[in-house]
Amino acid sequence: MMPTGLVLTSPRTFERRHFAMPSIGPDEGLLRVEACGLCGTDHEQYSGDIASSYAFIPGHEVVGIVEEIGEGAAARWGVSQGQRVAVEVFQSCRECRNCRAGVYRRCSTNGLATMVGFADADNGPGLGGGYATHLYLGPDSMLLDIADSLDPVTATLFNPVGAGIRWAVELPQTKPGDVVAILGPGVRGLSAAAAAKEAGAGFVMVTGLGERDAERLALAPAFGADLTVDVSRDDPVRVLRSVVGGKADVVVDVTAKAPAALSQAIGLARVGGTVVLAGVRGSTETPGFDPDHIVYKELQILGALGVDIGAYRQAIDLLASGRYPFAELPRRVAGFDDIESLLQIMAGDRRGIPPIHGVFAPR
By CB under 5 A, residue 214 contacts Zn ion: no
Shortest Å, Cβ 5 to Zn ion: 18
Cβ proximity to Zn ion, 99 vs 165, nearer residue = 99
Question: Residue 299 or 339: which CB sits closer to Zn ion?
Answer: 339
Q: How far is the CB of 18 from Zn ion (least distance, A)?
A: 26
SS3 letters across 179-222: EEEEECCCHHHHHHHHHHHHCCCCEEEEEECCHHHHHHHHHHHH
Could you say whether residue 107 binds Zn ion (CB under 5 A)? yes
Give the nearer residue to Zn ion in terms of CB position, either 96 or 301: 96
Query: Of the ranges 88-96, 131-139, 231-239, 266-274, which one interacts with Zn ion (CB under 5 A)?
Result: 88-96
Q: Is 96 in the site for Zn ion (CB under 5 A)?
A: yes
* For Zn ion, the closer CB: 74 or 256: 256
C-alpha pair distances (Å), 133 with each of 114, 143, 278, 336, 350: 19, 18, 31, 10, 26
CB of 104 to Zn ion, least distance (A): 6
CB of 190 to Zn ion, least distance (A): 15
- Residue 93 touches Zn ion, criterion: CB under 5 A: yes
342 binds Zn ion, rule: CB under 5 A = no
Structural contact between residues 346 and 334, judged by C-beta atoms closer than 8 angstroms: no
The candidate with the shortest Cα–Cα distance to 356, out of 163, 189, 132, is: 189
CB neighbour burial string for 32-56, b if at least 16 within 10 angstroms, e if fewer = bbbbbbbbbbbbbbbbeebebeebb
Strand-pair partners of 173: none
Q: What is the smallest separation between the CB atom of 96 and Zn ion, expressed in angstroms?
A: 3
d(CA 201, CA 169) in angstroms, rounded, equals: 9
Cβ of residue 140: shortest distance to Zn ion, in angstroms?
A: 8
Binding residue for Zn ion (CB under 5 A) from 57, 87, 99, 240?
Answer: 99
Q: Residues 22-41 vs Zn ion: string with x where CB under 5 A?
A: -----------------x-x
CB under 8 A, 24+ apart: contacts of 45-54: 45/8, 45/117, 45/118, 46/8, 46/11, 46/12, 46/340, 46/343, 46/344, 46/346, 46/347, 47/11, 47/12, 47/347, 47/349, 48/10, 48/11, 48/12, 52/8, 52/118, 54/120, 54/121, 54/122, 54/123
Alpha carbon distance 192, 161 (integer Å): 7
Q: Is residue 65 close enough to count as binding Zn ion by CB under 5 A? A: no
Stretch that binds Zn ion, among 1-9, 67-75, 93-101, 339-347 (CB under 5 A): 93-101
Nearer to Zn ion, 27 or 249 (CB): 27
Closest distance between Zn ion and the C-beta of residue 114, in Å? 11
CA 110 to chain centre: 20
Element (H, E) at 275: strand 269-277
Q: Which stretch binds Zn ion (CB under 5 A): 101-109, 246-254, 263-271, 320-328?
A: 101-109
The span of 72-80, 106-114, 165-173, 175-183 binding Zn ion (CB under 5 A) equals 106-114
Cα dihedral sign for 304, 200, 63, 67? Answer: positive
Complex with Zn ion: residue 107 or 217, whichever CB lies closer: 107
Please identify, using beta-carbon distances, which residue of 221 and 306 lies nearer to Zn ion.
Answer: 306
* 5 sits in which H/E element: strand 4-10
- Residues between 249 and 288 that touch Zn ion (CB under 5 A): none
Residue 279 DSSP code: S
Least distance to Zn ion from the beta carbon of 232, Å?
Answer: 27
Residues that bind Zn ion (CB under 5 A): 39, 41, 93, 96, 99, 107
